């Protein structure tokens, strides 16, 4: 048995293969026997509960930390450290991630046809995406394990987050991103936070292939989402969500799917909360992909989930432009155990849903908007019932891809894409709010106001 840290009152975690169940060394990513992914498990929980505490005791403890000034308590991830792997407090790299808001979407609930619709906005994390919640755990582990270098392949958000946490933790970081296929804001973040940033003339899946070899040959710690510590941090979004709803789970949680780690993480968090006795039933977890980047949908529909159907991915929601998702088995397990489903949405559905979320004063990046677009389909199919409660997980901040937003409102998002969609499309026009040019003249502005009121 390999222990990740010293035995403490929190109990010991282990790294275990999701395929054959073999226990692995703490800094591995794949099983040495069957090459499947690894996950962190907590054998001690069965006897003693997490941290040796009961759910009521843990709820009280986690709640009391909200008023603490300790950086660990102020983190919406480390506040729940009893359900995380053991990492020494002085090794923890935190930028006060987590603690993200839950908002109601009154217009969205009407347009989707459900009574209670909420978003958990993970884009409100320090670097603007959900990646921070996982990065704090995995980067801290890297530091504790003595690594000087960390690296990731990314569609932009992981790299922004990794660069920030590496910088805060005194680590060097290497970023591999697909040339010309990530948003400028995300690229600018990794430059600003000081990462060595390489644009490779390939797609995300190609970047992953290169990086996997680099980390084999160099003492560099991999911070892609196959990293099991990232999943542990990301699962706390589910704990936070349950706490927000006074431990009464919603009926459905809808998550965007790219490399499929986030859906896995949220499912893991919920499963553990049930195992520990915090909740008695699981929300149904459904994963939505873009039509042009739909390997999970095809895997379920064409291969009954038995083997991955990789695709050549193409979507303007560049964060989820992924054709060969590493965590597909983990995500499928979560979808099956919770009774959820998979669905795909078109580029126009994504664009419209994004504009709707924006018009509610919330906003998100395109990849996050697949959730609302997908929900609409799930309601139409009868999978989500009108009286059920639904939480959409918004994964990235609206400012992550302002170029997309501007193009949409100006009416040229689909120009030259061969989709036949342009500013003339009536469906798009309903949501477009293009900037107006006026003379610097009071009457002209007042005239405009009057016409807007009608």
Q: Which residues contribute to the site for ligand F0G (CB under 6 A)?
A: 129, 131, 154-158, 225, 256-262, 319-320, 365, 367-368, 395-396
Cross-strand bridge partners of residue 344:
289
**Whose CA is closest to 359, among 348, 371, 370, 351?**
351
Q: Which residues of 113-135 are buried (b: 16+ CB within 10 A; e: fewer)?
A: ebeebbbbbbbbbbbbbbbbbbb
For ligand F0G, the closer of residues 15 and 153 by Cβ is 153
For ligand F0G, the closer of residues 86 and 365 by Cβ is 365
The nearest distance, CB 205 to ligand F0G, in angstroms, is: 10
For ligand F0G, the closer of residues 12 and 162 by Cβ is 162
From CA 442, how far away is CA 182, in angstroms rounded? Answer: 41
In the complex, which residue's CB is closest to ligand F0G? 258
What is residue 283's DSSP assignment? Answer: P
Reported in sequence order, the residue ranges of 106-247 that DSSP labels E, i.e. its strands, are 116-121, 149-153, 172-178, 196-200, 220-222
The nearest distance, CB 270 to ligand F0G, in angstroms, is: 16
For ligand F0G, the closer of residues 74 and 122 by Cβ is 122
Which strands make up the sheet holding 389-394, listed edge to edge? 102-104, 116-121, 389-394, 252-256, 284-290, 342-345
The nearest distance, CB 395 to ligand F0G, in angstroms, is: 3
Report CA-CA distances (Å) from 329 to 15, 224, 239.
17, 16, 22
Reported in sequence order, the residue ranges of 128-180 that DSSP labels E, i.e. its strands, are 149-153, 172-178
Q: What is the largest CA-CA distance in the chain?
A: 77
For ligand F0G, the closer of residues 144 and 264 by Cβ is 264
The nearest distance, CB 262 to ligand F0G, in angstroms, is: 3
The nearest distance, CB 257 to ligand F0G, in angstroms, is: 5
From CA 364, how far away is CA 287, in angstroms rounded? Answer: 17
The alpha carbon dihedral of 246, 249, 251, 255 has a sign of positive
The nearest distance, CB 51 to ligand F0G, in angstroms, is: 27
The nearest distance, CB 154 to ligand F0G, in angstroms, is: 3
């Amino acid at each position: 048995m390999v222990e990740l840290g010293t035995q403490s009152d929190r109990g010991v975690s282990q790294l275990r293969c999701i395929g054959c169940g073999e226990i692995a060394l703490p800094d591995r990513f794949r099983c040495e026997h069957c090459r499947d992914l690894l996950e962190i498990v907590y054998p001690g929980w069965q006897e003693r509960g997490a941290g040796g505490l009961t759910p009521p005791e843990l709820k009280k403890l986690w709640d009391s930390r909200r008023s603490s000034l300790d950086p660990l308590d102020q983190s919406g991830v480390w506040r729940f450290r009893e359900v995380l792997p053991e990492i020494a407090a002085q090794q923890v790299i935190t930028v006060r991630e987590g603690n993200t808001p839950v908002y109601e979407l009154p217009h969205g609930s009407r347009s989707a046809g459900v009574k209670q619709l909420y978003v958990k906005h993970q884009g409100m994390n320090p670097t603007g995406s959900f990646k921070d919640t996982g990065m704090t755990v995995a980067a801290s582990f890297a530091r504790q394990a003595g690594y000087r270098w960390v690296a990731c392949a990314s569609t932009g958000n992981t790299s922004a987050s990794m660069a920030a946490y590496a910088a805060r933790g005194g680590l060097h970081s290497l970023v591999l991103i697909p040339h010309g296929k990530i948003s400028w804001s995300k690229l600018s973040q990794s430059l600003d936070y000081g990462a060595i940033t390489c644009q490779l003339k390939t797609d995300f899946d190609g970047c992953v292939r290169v990086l996997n070899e680099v980390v084999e040959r160099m003492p560099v710690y991999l911070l892609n989402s196959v990293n099991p510590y990232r999943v542990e941090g990301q699962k706390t979004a589910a704990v936070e969500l349950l706490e927000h709803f006074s431990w009464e789970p919603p009926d459905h949680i809808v998550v965007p799917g790219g490399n499929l780690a986030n859906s896995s993480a949220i499912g893991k968090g919920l499963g553990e909360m049930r195992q520990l006795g915090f909740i008695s039933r699981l929300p149904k977890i459904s994963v939505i992909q873009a039509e042009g980047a739909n390997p999970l949908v095809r895997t379920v529909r064409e291969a009954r989930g038995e083997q991955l159907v990789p695709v050549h991915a193409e979507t303007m929601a560049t964060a989820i432009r992924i054709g060969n998702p590493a965590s597909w088995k983990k995500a499928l397990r979560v979808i099956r155990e919770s009774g959820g489903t998979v669905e795909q949405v078109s580029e126009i559905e994504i664009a419209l849903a994004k504009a709707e979320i924006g018009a509610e004063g919330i906003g998100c990046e395109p990849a996050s908007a697949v959730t609302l677009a997908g929900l609409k389909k799930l309601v139409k199919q009868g999978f989500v019932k009108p009286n059920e409660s639904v939480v959409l997980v918004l994964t990235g901040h609206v400012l992550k891809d302002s170029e997309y937003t501007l193009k949409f409102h100006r009416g040229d998002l689909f120009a030259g894409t061969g989709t036949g969609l342009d500013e003339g499309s009536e469906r798009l026009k309903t949501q477009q709010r293009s900037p107006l040019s006026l003379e610097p003249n009071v009457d002209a502005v007042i005239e405009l106001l009057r016409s807007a009121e009608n």
